[in-house]
Amino acid sequence: MALDDQTDLSRRDILKLSAATFTAVSTAAVSTAAVAACPVGGLPATAAGMTTAAGYILARLSERGVRHLFTVPAATCDGLLKAAEGGAIATIVTSSDIEAGYAADGYARIHGLAAVTVSYGPGTLSLINAIAGAYVERSPVVVINGGPSAANLSAQRELGVLFSHSSGSADLDLELFRPITAFAGRAATAREVPGVVDQAILVAITAQRPVYLELSKDLWEARVPRPAAPLAIMAPDAGEVRRARDLARGIKQRLGAAARPVLLLGVEVQRHGLGDAVAEFVAQTGLPYATTLLGKSVIPETTPGFIGVFDGERSPGGIRDVMLNADAVLALGCVFNSDYLRFVRGSYERLVLAVDGQVRAGRTAPVAAGLAPILTQLKGLAWQANPAWRRASRPVARAPRPASRHADGPGLTHDQVFAELRTLLAGPEAFVLVADTALSTHPAADLAVQGSNSFVCSAAWKSIGHSVGAALGVAFASDRRPLAVCGDGGFQTIAQALSTMARFQQRAIVVVIDNGVYGIELAIVAPPFFSEGCEAAPYLKLNRWNYVELAKAMGVSFAREVSTPAALRAALADATRATGPAFIAAKVPPRDLPAELRVG
């Protein structure tokens, strides 16, 4: 199926097309000709121009700048871990499989590609939540798995003897990862390794989605040709360029005819490295712009024309009004979840959406065209900035927060916590803010962050606990310190990540909102708990932990509990001077809500 012949494509079709196209590229990139020997991991080439299957994978990852491999050791992936020992890619052993997945996800969001390997079966199935979130939120994680050998499969098929970690299926892991990855493939022979590896990594890079790569576990030391040339990313063909040119002209016509146009920027802008080009486009056109919550800081928030983060119904009234009343919206790289239902439904006719390699204008059929070609063509048009556009958008700051009232005694309020975090983020040190799915999600949208790519959250998948695991990956991927803000319910699912932070002395700061309840669930299923003093159901209450002593037991030297703004302010200042991870438990009464959830 040629791309030129297809204009109405589903997202899955786009990804399948990509995978099919890249097969030819990966084959061309591998040669059996002798090349200069260059050590890969701790294993030298076994012959001139040859390496091992494990070495091949590490070489391709290293070529793309990957310097860390997240793992929980297991016999099925031991060959890969041995190959990495002493090489350019460091092995980062985490305290759980889900933590390894979250960490790889956070690493990929900052760096652009990440890798994780754990046990076949129990380990990889524990990764599924993290990889599903990476798929939804466009995070290119390479899952590397050591699968059953031919002998394992033969014994299971002919004798009924299960191989280790087998469910009875010959390819359970492979089939379970297919729906949540852009590519899922298995190499059963050494001959197949280079093509499958290259195909997986190319799809991850191009689609900016996770991929699943399985090798028969007896192949790690099998001889394969070394990569003879770097992986080649295919440029848009003439048909895609032509479609992008036509689409750009139509978009300009729509925007030019509008009195209140607005630009909405999403996460794919960052994932595809288009931040600088989009910032230039904003300056060129004079369009006011917002970002989605998942796309917060895809370009610096100091860029002129920024009206704020549009996070759906919980957005400040001024930003929400601008978005809902716009007569033309150009959405670049936006992933819309249920928070945006009202907006998308009300703006459908006025919305041009470029995402997942296709563009849809109003109710017209999607047209296959990538975000980069579209942006190139848009920038190539003659634009005359219209000052009236920004005046019509009436950008506004959030209204002053109403006074918080809670009935459960002393403690910080959410608003006080976020006031102190706002001061910290405005200081001289640049952080990457990693926000969890909690009552604090929407207040995090209001915090100004410095520079671009300075915010990480699970805004679409909404997995609680993601922030602390992701912060570990961010710490390895960035020279900026991660600041993770997590609810206590989410933290209890991933607390052991503190041990990994301490093991590697990563200078992350973790702030846990300690209110003793599943606050975000109460806000959804039992809102009278906050306004009328109703009792929470027992299953919505948390077991009380001594968080400070827990953090210390995991090797975190700086651990503090605070219950006043002054104490939090002092703790944050001291945390910035910590030589390793810093942990702060902020005591907040159970019935307190942040302003974003108290007002419409």
Q: Over 549-581, what HEC string results? A: HHHHHCCCCEEEEECCHHHHHHHHHHHCCCCCC
User: What are the distances in angstroms from CA 186 to CA 143, 213, 219, 301, 470?
Assistant: 12, 6, 11, 43, 27
Provide the token pair at 8.
């109405």
Provide the token pair at 182.
């852009």
State residue 440 phi and psi, 5-degree precision.
-85, 0
Q: Is 372 exposed, middle or buried (0-12, 13-18, 19+ CB in 10 A)?
A: middle
Amino acid at 7: T
Question: Would the pLDDT of 459 be above 90?
Answer: yes
Give percent above pLDDT 90 in the chain.
Answer: 80
When pLDDT is cut at 50, 70 and 90, the band that residue 47 belongs to is low
Residues 157, 121: Cα–Cα separation, whole Å: 18
Query: What would the pLDDT profile of 517-542 be if each residue is shown by its tens digit?
Result: 999 999 999 999 998 888 999 999 99
Provide the token pair at 10.
């589903």
Nearest to 286 by CA among 437, 391, 148: 391
Question: Would the pLDDT of 402 be above 70?
Answer: no
Provide the token pair at 87.
């090489």
Nearest-5° Cα angle at 128, 63 to 518: 120
Query: What would the pLDDT profile of 342-359 be if each residue is shown by its tens digit?
Result: 999 999 999 999 999 999
Residue 400 pLDDT: 45
Question: Would the pLDDT of 468 be above 90?
Answer: yes
State residue 439 phi and psi, 5-degree precision.
-60, -20
Residue 386 pLDDT: 79
Residue 384 pLDDT: 84
How many Å is the Cα radius of gyration of the chain?
Answer: 25
Query: What would the pLDDT profile of 195-236 be if each residue is shown by its tens digit?
Result: 999 999 999 999 999 999 999 999 999 999 999 899 988 888
DSSP-derived letter for residue 50 is: E
Question: Would the pLDDT of 395 be above 70?
Answer: no
With b meaning 16 or more CB within 10 Å and e meaning fewer, what string describes 453-475?
A: bbbbbbbbbbbbbbbbbbbbbbb
Nearest to 197 by CA among 182, 218, 215: 215
CB half-sphere exposure, 584, CA atoms < 13 A: 28
Question: Would the pLDDT of 18 be above 50?
Answer: no
The residues, ordered by sequence, that sit 6+ positions from 342 with a Cβ below 8 Å of its Cβ are: 312, 313, 324
Per the CB < 8 A criterion, the answer to whether 495 and 472 are in contact is no
Residues 546, 516: Cα–Cα separation, whole Å: 11
End-to-end Cα separation, the chain, in angstroms? 49
Question: Would the pLDDT of 9 be above 70?
Answer: no
Lowest mean pLDDT among 39-48, 324-333, 465-474: 39-48
Residues 466, 456: Cα–Cα separation, whole Å: 10
With b meaning 16 or more CB within 10 Å and e meaning fewer, what string describes 517-546?
A: bbbbbbbeebeebbeeeeebeeebebeebe
Residue 533 pLDDT: 82
Question: Would the pLDDT of 69 be above 90?
Answer: yes
Lowest mean pLDDT among 43-47, 267-271, 384-388, 543-547: 43-47
Residue 234 pLDDT: 85
3-state secondary structure of 514: strand
Residue 599 pLDDT: 57
Average pLDDT of the chain?
A: 89
